Amino acid sequence: MAEADSTTAEETLNQQTTETTDGFHIVIDALKLNDLNTIFGLVGIPITDLARLAQAEGMRFIGFRHEQHAGNAAAIAGFMTQKPGICLTVSAPGFLNGLTALANATTNCFPMILISGSSEREIVDLQQGDYEEMDQLNAAKPYAKAAYRVLHAEDIGIGVARAIRAAVSGRPGGVYLDLPAKLLAQTLDAVKAQQSLVRVVDAAPRQLPAPESVKRAIDVLKSAKRPLILLGKGAAYAQADAEIRAFVEQSGIPYLPMSMAKGLLPDTHEQSASAARSFVLQEADVVVLIGARLNWLLAHGKGKTWGAEPKKFVQVDISPTEIDSNVAIAAPVIGDIGSCVAALRAGLDAGFAKPGAEWTGAIAERKNKNLAKMAATLEKNPSPMNFHSALRAIRDVLKTRPDINVVNEGANTLDYARSIIDMYEPRKRFDSGTWGIMGIGMGFAIGAAVTSGKPVVAIEGDSAFGFSGMELETICRYDLPVCTIIFNNNGVYRGTDVNPTGGKDVAPTVFVKGARYDRMIEAFGGVGYNATTPEELTKALLEAIASGKPTLINAVIDEAAGTESGRLTNLNPQSAAMKK
Ligand code: ADP
């Protein structure tokens, strides 16, 4: 009897060890083991089954109509959570569509992983003409923080672990993970597969600043008469909200938030110098950059924007090579923002004095003057609506709902909304970012809605919306609480340009006049509104938010409103040449 029993046990063991799994399941297990439970993607050969199985295994799969928007959704999920957002695409064209989002994520320091299926290596490498043939790994490299390919099922666990660590450690960014079709179909002993998985420990370790770098920074701060803190989206990403607020308040230094750092402290905070931006950039003598780069968005730290007097910069950043990238940095503080700001705060000892009334008073005076001017502009009620009167209506509604996520893109729509719409909570504003690109709208809106479970209001120029408009179907399919507001002025920048030849074609910047974008969402079961006055816009937005349903408001703006390229007119070659 005893003998018979032991045979049975051995048989069972044999059965266990001969149980197999495949590449599809190992990828899913590797992601789930690392708490990555949502995939944004678009199915097709060879990854349809990966998406199906992921859903069957309890992951959320959000299917898009174009990979770029799936990638943008993944990227913004990464920014919001500090975990890499996952985007899944097919090979060659699908991969290339996703690559735009991957490049944008890398540029913006958002962690994401683009996973693409790929064709047969042997055929691709000999360029023998495979279905969707492309050397995706090498194509991805210049646009990603890192790029990896996995060839053997037993390496999937390590491949996913490397991708996660590369995406979130140090300066976050986009990572490409290449999964050939053959790999997904490979089988492996189930126990071995389980053992090959890696749960990443401490994916983004804290990096403490060197004490001497903190001391140097404090010394520079002590020498300041007119200090300024500049908060960038790195500061928002770092989720060190309480520490940053304490540093700002304890130091008494006025601050400016970059657009995606808005809400880190409420925009209504008395130390916010946003309404005196030009003044403080010109007049400050010491500027503390916290998670903000001195790129084009800050005029590279030099020139007219920064006034005549040379500045001293303190720069807090995780990336040592960011330092001195545009101008000399007097005091670099390298480390994670939470640790660096905590160390700086601890360094605000008895020898540090809050900035004097001469500086804070001058800022307050400038602020009040500009705010009064803006209030007068916002109060006007022109017919048809202009950007200001429409944004006033939106601002007043959003003020009552600080938890709402705001997505914003366009030229004029971006520029005006950024300064008119106040933000009250961190990581609630998502926009065109470091590249200043159009096309992030619906991808970010979907990513933000899925990730936060909270409503999203996407404030879109009519041109910007066009890049991702088909994703309205995705919004409706998943019944997401996204309200898209289109600032419709019949064209790119505005709708009044004419074809100088008198020919049949409209001018390059002009769209169909009087387009009814609200009817687009109705095609998919969403609710559309057409708003021609601020009152109609207010009513529609209140109703849209209360419904928690997919909605779209076509906000009809004066077609003559809007300037060429918004505030970037000087970047147009002809305008720049004319200025010279
Ligand atoms: P903005 O466009 O808002 O000015 P940038 O994207 O130019 O902001 O700058 C963000 C900076 O923040 C990058 O230089 C990046 O290296 C840095 N950064 C991102 N995350 C962290 C972090 N956790 N700790 C320190 N620095 C960070």
Mutation test residue for ligand 1: of 260, 296, 337, 437, the one with most atoms within 8 Å of CB:
337
In words, the CATH class of domain 380-578 is alpha beta
Q: How many CB atoms lie within 10 A of CB 495?
A: 25
CA distances from 548 to 194, 427, 449, 455, 474 (A): 41, 20, 11, 7, 15
End-to-end CA gap in the chain: 100
The DSSP-derived string for 62-112 is EE-SSHHHHHHHHHHHHHHHSS-EEEEE-STHHHHHHHHHHHHHHHHT--E
Going by C-beta distance under 8 Å and a sequence separation of 6 or more, which residues neighbour residue 303?
A: none
* Domain range 211-363, CATH architecture: 3-Layer(aba) Sandwich (3.40)
Residue 292 Cβ inside 6 Å of ligand 1? The answer reads yes
Distance 289 CA to ligand 1 centre (A): 10
Per-residue pLDDT of 331-379, as tens digits, reads 999 999 999 999 999 999 878 999 999 999 999 999 999 999 999 999 9
Write down the CATH number for the domain with range 17-196.
Answer: 3.40.50.970
Instruction: Give the pLDDT confidence score for residue 309 in this predicted structure.
Output: 87
**DSSP state at residue 287:** E
Per-residue pLDDT of 73-101, as tens digits, reads 999 999 999 999 999 999 999 999 999 99
Q: Is the pTM of this model over 0.75?
A: yes
* Helix (DSSP H) and strand (DSSP E) numbers for the chain: 24, 19
Residue 233 Cβ inside 6 Å of ligand 1? The answer reads yes
**Greatest CA span in the chain, whole angstroms?**
100
Among protein residues, the one whose CA lies closest to atom 23 of ligand 1: 238
Sign of CA dihedral 245, 249, 251, 257: positive
Mutation test residue for ligand 1: of 237, 241, 429, the one with most atoms within 8 Å of CB:
237
Distance from C-alpha of 580 to C-alpha of 573, rounded to nearest angstrom: 11
Domain boundaries, the chain: 17-196, 211-363, 380-578
CB 288 within 8 A of CB 235: no
- Band (pLDDT 50/70/90 cuts) for residue 565 is confident
Instruction: Give the pLDDT confidence score for residue 2 in this predicted structure.
Output: 43
Residue 299 Cβ inside 6 Å of ligand 1? The answer reads no
Q: What percentage of the chain has pLDDT greater than the value 70?
A: 96
Which residue, 55, 62, 94, is CA-closest to 76?
62
